[in-house]
Structure 1
Amino acid sequence: MIQTESHTALIPGRNSLLIYAGFVGLGLLTWLTGLYLTGQGAAGLRIFGPEEIGLIVIGGAGVWLAPRTGFPDLLDARVPDSQRFLFPFLIGLGFGAADIAVFTLVMHPAPVTGLMPFMQPFPYSLLLYGSGALYTDTLYRLIPIPVLMWGAGNLLLKDTRNEHLFRGLALLTSLIEPIDQLITDTPELALYSFMTGYAMNLLQALYFRQSGFLAGLMIRLGHYTLWHILFGLWVELLN
């Protein structure tokens, strides 16, 4: 766990703020691209809109508070790039491969003849699911965990870096997505959906704590790369 009391470690670095501003720009680009393609006659596109972009903007508060509550900055020099990017991305790929296996072998063993609801046309899918991953992790981690740690730490615990508080928040916030997206086709699939969803969200929270927000985000990007983007591209190429 990276802990420091130096003043410079309590504020996000300039490059980290520029990266996060770029994330906001990515959301804007995704929105405008979706509107343009729809205007050109593309049907069935999911639009990443102003509400999603607004939430990412609010996530800047999480970037600002994260170093003050014991999380590494986005580009903390003490975190190896392998821990920030490579290892979490590989973990995400593993979750994506498991989902594809379950879908193709159990849920939909017949050949997929068109894009499923969780797919979008390539290369628009790159923008949509890249922005979608950022939105989801901002909603479930970047905003609630540092903000609640800052508030409770100042008002109740007098310790904004309290590890017990972080663990409780990690366990609770990791429940939200798997419950919201629970697959209820069969009890076995429901169990698989909940267990893998909870495991991935909890790992994201732990990587966020140990290696910064980008590390947790890379897990989701790895999952989305296989499950949403490459799986969708494969279906398009076959049909």
Structure 2
Amino acid sequence: MKTNSSQNLFVYVLFLVICLIGIFFGRSISQEHSFLRVWEFSNLLLMMAGVPFLFLQQRAGLPDFLSDNVTRKNRIVYPVLLGIVFGILDVLVIKVLLHPEPYTELPPFLQPFPYSVFLYFSGAFEIEVFYRLIPMTIILLVGNWWKQGKYFQWFFWIAAVLTALREPLEQLPAGSAWLIAYSFLTGFLMNFLQAIWYRKAGFIASLSLRLGHYLIWHILLGIYVELIELH
């Protein structure tokens, strides 16, 4: 019977294999698409930074990736549905309201299908490792240690807010005040919910929420643009 930590490692390696397939896939079609975004092998090496934290989830008060105490609905279904809501919002605001005219080429945030599945899975995985897995595990480890966990809840909410701020601050768009406000508020809320789901159901739940968003915003919108607007 596998230990929880070895299950974490198994899942992590499986995710890395998907990223590796994406690298080879991208390189094989790079001559056909001048705008293609392709991961480098150095990206995979960088992801090794997350490995030590796979063995510290329980110590940090977080569920292991495949914890028996977490249902599949909480681990995958509900987070994906939440992410889909954010994806639909982005499509309605940014595509339907701000850019209703057809694209003449794929914009930078879209990539050709089915390669887009691998690229955006890899991107979501990378973000969750460096925005959630590493920082939240560190902060909550300290929270469990400090005064024997007396202020653990405070440490969690601080971690949730800090990790929720990073992405929207890094990706503030140029444009009107309302667009900047929309981008910041929805970005913060999605990341904040990811922190909550991470504590509730583990790393896969947080990743699933982001993948639900990417499914709509990056993958399905990309298919629509490729098949409808570019033809």
* TM-score, normalised via structure 2 length: 0.92
> What is residue 67 of structure 2 aligned with on the other side?
76
In 2, Cα distance between the equivalents of 1:228 and 1:65?
32
Is the 1:95–1:196 contact (alpha carbons within 8 Å) kept by the matching residues of 2? yes
Q: CA deviation at 1:99?
A: 0.1
Residues 204 and 160 (structure 1 numbering): CA distance in 2 closer, same or farther, change over 3 Å? Answer: farther
Q: Which amino acid aligns with 1:59?
A: G
1:140 matched to 2:140: no
1:214 matched to 2:204: yes
Is the 1:72–1:210 contact (alpha carbons within 8 Å) kept by the matching residues of 2? yes
Is the 1:26–1:131 contact (alpha carbons within 8 Å) kept by the matching residues of 2? yes
> What is residue 87 of structure 2 aligned with on the other side?
96
> What is residue 126 of structure 1 aligned with on the other side?
117
RMSD: 2.0
In 2, Cα distance between the equivalents of 1:202 and 1:64?
24
Query: What's the % identity of the aligned pairs?
Result: 38
1:21 matched to 2:13: yes
* TM-score, normalised via structure 1 length: 0.89
Is the 2:23–2:39 contact (alpha carbons within 8 Å) kept by the matching residues of 1? yes
Q: What is the CA deviation profile of residues 119-167 of structure 1, one whole-angstrom value per residue up to 9, with x for unaligned ones?
A: 001110010001111001111001111023325654x544398221111
Matched residue count: 228
Q: How does 1:90-239 map to 2 (within 5 A)?
A: 90-151=81-142, 153-154=144-145, 156-159=146-149, 162-238=152-228, 239=230
Secondary structure of the 2:172 match is coil
Is the 2:79–2:206 contact (alpha carbons within 8 Å) kept by the matching residues of 1? yes
Q: Give 4+ residue runs of structure 1 displaced > 6 Å after superposition.
A: none
Q: Which amino acid aligns with 2:111?
A: Q
Q: CA deviation at 1:65?
A: 1.4
Q: CA deviation at 1:182?
A: 0.9
Residues 161 and 54 (structure 1 numbering): CA distance in 2 closer, same or farther, change over 3 Å? Answer: farther
In 1, Cα distance between the equivalents of 2:166 and 2:150?
23
Q: What is the CA deviation profile of residues 13-56 of structure 1, one whole-angstrom value per residue up to 9, with x for unaligned ones?
A: 43332111111212222222222222x44321101123432232
Q: Structure 1: any 5+ residue segments left out of the alignment? A: 1-10
